[in-house]
Amino acid sequence: MKPITEYQDYRLYMRDFYEERKKSGFTWREFSKSAGFASPSYLKLVCEGKSSLSRVGLPRVANAMDLSGYEFTYFEKMVEFGNATNDEKKKAAFTELTRIAKEQKVRVIDADTFAYYESSINSIVRELAPLMPGALPKDMAKKIKHLFTAQQVRDSLELLTKAKFLEETGENTYRQADKAITGSTEAIPLALRSMNREMTELAKEAIDKVEAKDKNISGVTMGVDAPTFARISEEIDKCRKRVIALANGCKNINQVYRLNLQLFPLTDKV
C-alpha cells in the first residue's frame, strides 16, 4: 500500500487499506468492529461517499488502521479536507497536508500545480518572464498593469522554477519548460476557483484602466433552456481551443493577455 502522504482523499486511503487486508479475509464487518462501530456496513458507506467520517469517529478509524504520529495527523487533515464545506476550510486543510508532507521530506501530489493556480500572478509571470531576459523582478512588476509587487514576482519566479514550469537559462533569463501544468486531485478545482476570482477582479480593473483599442469586453444577457445551455457551453469550449491554437502560433509575442470566458445563470429556473 502507498504511503499515506501520497493520498489526499481519506475515503480512497481507507478503501485501499481495506482492499490490502481483504486479501487475508478481512471484512467490512471486522473493519467497523475494530473501529468501535455497531453498524457492520458504516465504513463501507463512508468509503462509497454515502456518509462522512465524523470528528468522533476519526480517531477510532485511525487507531483501527494503526496510524500514529504524523500519519494520524495527516489522516485527520485529510478528513478535514474531504469534509470541508467551503473553500477557506479546504484550503487550510490542504495547506496543512502540504506542511506535514514537507516535514517528512515527501511531496504532496499536485502541490506545485495547486500553488501555481492559487494566484493569478503565477500565470502572468510564466508568460512575461521569457519576454524580458535579464529583467529584475521589480522591472517585471512595473510591466504588469495591475498592482503586484516585486516581492510577489520574485516569489512567483521561485515557485515556477522550483516546479519546473520555467527554466532559468541565464542570469534573470527564463524560458517556458515544455512541462504541461496539469492536475487531477480534488485540490486543483479549489485553486482554480481562487485564480478565477482574482482574474475576474483584474478584468473589472481593465474596464477603466485599459484603453478601448487594447481590450475586447462585451457580454449578452439571454434566456435559454438546458439543451441550449449545453450547446452554448460546447461552442465556448471550441472557441477557447481555437484561441489557444492562434496564441500558440504567435511568433512575435510582446504582451501578455488574459481571456475570461464566463457563462453563468443570473436567475433561478422558472
pLDDT digits (tens, 9 = 90+) for 58-98: 999 999 999 999 999 999 999 999 999 999 999 999 999 98
Closest alpha carbon to 144 in 210, 188, 92, 91 = 210
pLDDT number for residue 180:
63
pLDDT number for residue 178:
73
Closest alpha carbon to 106 in 5, 231, 4, 216 = 5
pLDDT in tens, 164-184: 899 999 999 999 987 667 666
pTM, whole model, 2 decimals? 0.73
**Residue 170's beta-bridge partner residues?**
173
Architecture field, domain 4-105: Orthogonal Bundle (1.10)
pLDDT number for residue 27:
94
Q: What is the amino acid identity at position 180?
A: A
Ranges of the chain whose pLDDT falls below 50: none
Q: Record the cell numbers describing residue 251, joined without a space.
A: 511568433
- CA–CA distance, 178 with 165 (Å, rounded to integer): 8
> Judging by DSSP bridges, how do beta strands 166-170 and 173-176 pair with one another?
antiparallel
pLDDT number for residue 184:
62
Give residues with Cβ within 8 angstroms of 17, minimum separation 6.
Answer: 1, 65
